[in-house]
Structure 1
Amino acid sequence: MNLENTEKLSVKERLMIFINAENLSQSKFEKMTNLSNGYVNNIRNSISDKIFDGRIHPVFPKLNKIWLLHGEGEMIVGNNDEQKNEDDNNASIIKNKPHDEQMEILLNKIENLEQKIEIYQERDALYLKSIIAFFEIDKVKPEIKEIDNKKSSTN
């Protein structure tokens, strides 16, 4: 499929293009991103930033958010070399700024990183809940304690 005119496609259609490009089924994509069964089929208008940043992006960091949500740019973001070049350019831009502006830029970067950390912590908590539910760990826990008690009593 020609990806040049994706602005006219819906978010759901662009997401399906990405899923197909990754050779995944919708179900597999939903499981990998910890989205509910049928989530992709039920997309009406768009995907929230929280869903993209907290669930989709951590699993598929190469998926371009701007492309997915607006159809602009490339579906896949640049490789690590391009990111390193961008980071180097940002560093040289910061060096040429007055001290106050440098501090403001760095504080904004810190704030953005703190927000990402919070999103990742929320995502990890969801993953942990899913793992606990899937493996029924809460039901196994008393048995584990019993095994641990036996080990400690024999030592």
Structure 2
Amino acid sequence: MKDRLLKIAEHYGLTPNKFSEIIGMSRAFIKNINEEISTKPMRNILLKFPEVNIVWLLTGEGEMILKNTNAEIETTEKTSPEFLLEYLKEKDKTIGDLREEIGRLKQELLSHEQREGSYDLDVNDRNAAEKEIEYKKSK
């Protein structure tokens, strides 16, 4: 196992210490490893280096790097916890911004109704207003 981990580090141009850090382990992780590793470093290796062949990593059989893994790499990156957390933060900000805008528009509508009096738009007026808004957005 130690030899295979060293080969992965070498393949990516990393020192054993840097490789250990990247997978969330102590700097001396590879140096101190005997034959097997626990689930945590194995999981982290596959998350950080998804093109590494897990069968090769576990058994030494087959190729170290999987072929045609571009789609898998992209999928893994887009489902990583860091990516998903950032994505959720962006969505929360968008939702907050939209809520503020809705509140501002409600206040503006209320203010307008108080000045001008309440009115209802008929269907034709409403459609015309929507088309005008779409036209302005497209400019």
**TM-score bracket, shorter-length normalisation:** 0.3 to 0.5
TM-score, with structure 2 as normaliser: 0.48
TM-score, with structure 1 as normaliser: 0.43
* Structure exhibiting the larger radius of gyration computed from Cα positions: 2
With a CA cutoff of 8 Å and minimum separation of 6, indicate the structure with the bigger relative contact order: 1
